[in-house]
């Protein structure tokens, strides 16, 4: 591919286009300042305002959430994987029907493979605007978001209604549900009872990996973070590797499925047949399948990169192997 063609597969952090009306809690106090970014794939946004940077199917979605301090993302659930790593700031993740079953605080570079089928939310507890990068399982990201009932009720009190078609309607803009479209029904007590309430002790050991532990493990070869043989064992339709100065290989290689490079620290030079590019933290680069390429730090100093590779496996519930 030419450099011009490859440039269309690179999304720069400074060029990300946010959507402030992506979800049903966009007007709810405490959540109304968050920004949603859809980088690769359609994501799970409920708003027609959402910009999608790269539409090429990869077998997974890449997105991001940006929030000022004390802003939170409301309790919701997914049918496929939702993986976050912290790019900037300090974040508290919490889960359970009311968000009080367990919690964990993540620092920059830490990664969390949140179990499917539990209600989860997150908030920026740092002192500045923060950003977390997301990997969602499947090309359709599980078909959308499942909201805790109180989130839907709070949103309705502030003018937003979610239709059964998965689209938002804003009464503050004079919008109403179209004829034949009913509001998204609230989950029943029987349905809510099927959502697990794991403790922090049950979740953190198998689903959270810390940056500095990964940096130590990736001193000689890339650390397999998520995968059947990963530190976090799962088969969500993709695998995640962690690469540092010590484990970066300058020789070209290729994958038979699409892959994505996402730097966390330092600058990385990506060489491919026909050109090269330099990536910085927050940038996202899509590598086509069967394209020979290499990725190495382009300067001295700390360098770390997450690599996501599609596996072709069906996206679904967290693997219990």
pLDDT in the model for residue 321: 73
pLDDT in the model for residue 141: 87
Domain spans of the chain, in order of start: 3-208, 211-310
Q: What is the largest CA-CA distance in the chain?
A: 61
What is each CA distance from 43 to 23, 140, 232, in whole angstroms? Answer: 12, 7, 23
Query: What residues contact residue 90 under an 8 Å CB cut-off, 6+ apart?
Result: 105, 106, 107, 108, 124, 125, 126, 130
Over the chain (321 residues), the average pLDDT of each successive run of 10 is: 94 97 95 97 91 96 98 97 98 98 98 98 98 96 91 95 93 92 96 97 98 98 97 98 96 96 98 96 98 97 97 94 73
pLDDT in the model for residue 144: 86
Strand pairing partners for 105?
Answer: 92
Matching CATH topology for 3-208 and 211-310? yes
pLDDT in the model for residue 154: 96
pLDDT in the model for residue 320: 82
Task: Enter the pTM of the model.
Answer: 0.96
Which CATH number applies to 211-310?
2.60.120.10
CA dist., res. 204 & res. 248, Å (int): 28
Q: What is the DSSP letter of 141?
A: G
**Cβ neighbours of 318 (radius 10 Å):** 20
CA dist., res. 28 & res. 155, Å (int): 6
Q: CATH fold of 3-208, please? A: Jelly Rolls (2.60.120)
Sheet holding 293-297, edge to edge: 275-279, 268-272, 293-297
């Amino acid at each position: 591919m030419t450099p011009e063609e490859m440039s269309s597969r690179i999304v720069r952090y400074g060029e990300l286009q946010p959507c402030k009306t992506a979800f049903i809690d966009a007007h709810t106090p405490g959540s109304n300042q968050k920004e949603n970014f859809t980088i690769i794939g359609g994501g799970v946004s409920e708003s027609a305002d959402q910009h999608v940077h790269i539409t090429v199917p990869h077998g997974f979605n890449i997105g991001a959430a940006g929030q000022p301090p004390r802003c939170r993302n409301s309790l919701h659930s997914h049918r496929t994987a939702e993986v976050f790593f912290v790019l900037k700031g300090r974040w508290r993740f919490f889960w359970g029907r009311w968000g009080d079953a367990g919690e964990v605080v993540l620092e920059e570079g830490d990664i969390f493979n949140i179990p499917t089928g539990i209600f989860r939310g997150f908030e920026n507890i740092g002192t500045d605007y923060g950003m977390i990068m997301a990997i969602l399982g499947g090309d359709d990201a599980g078909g959308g978001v499942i909201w805790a009932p109180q989130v839907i009720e709070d949103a309705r009190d502030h003018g937003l209604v979610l239709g059964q078609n998965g689209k938002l309607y804003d009464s503050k803009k004079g919008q109403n549900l179209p004829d034949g479209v009913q509001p998204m029904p609230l989950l029943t007590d029987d349905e809510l009872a099927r959502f697990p309430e794991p403790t922090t002790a049950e979740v953190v050991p198998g689903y959270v990996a810390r940056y500095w532990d990964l940096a130590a493990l990736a001193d000689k070869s890339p650390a397999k973070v998520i995968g059947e043989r990963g530190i976090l064992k799962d088969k969500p339709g993709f695998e995640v590797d962690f690469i540092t100065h010590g484990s970066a290989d300058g020789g070209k290689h290729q994958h038979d499925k699409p892959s994505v490079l996402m730097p966390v620290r330092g600058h990385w030079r990506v060489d491919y047949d026909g050109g090269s590019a330099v990536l910085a933290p927050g940038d996202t680069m899509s590598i086509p399948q069967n394209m020979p390429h290499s990725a190495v730090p382009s300067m001295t100093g700390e360098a770390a990169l997450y690599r996501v590779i599609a596996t072709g496996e069906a996206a679904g519930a967290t693997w219990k192997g």
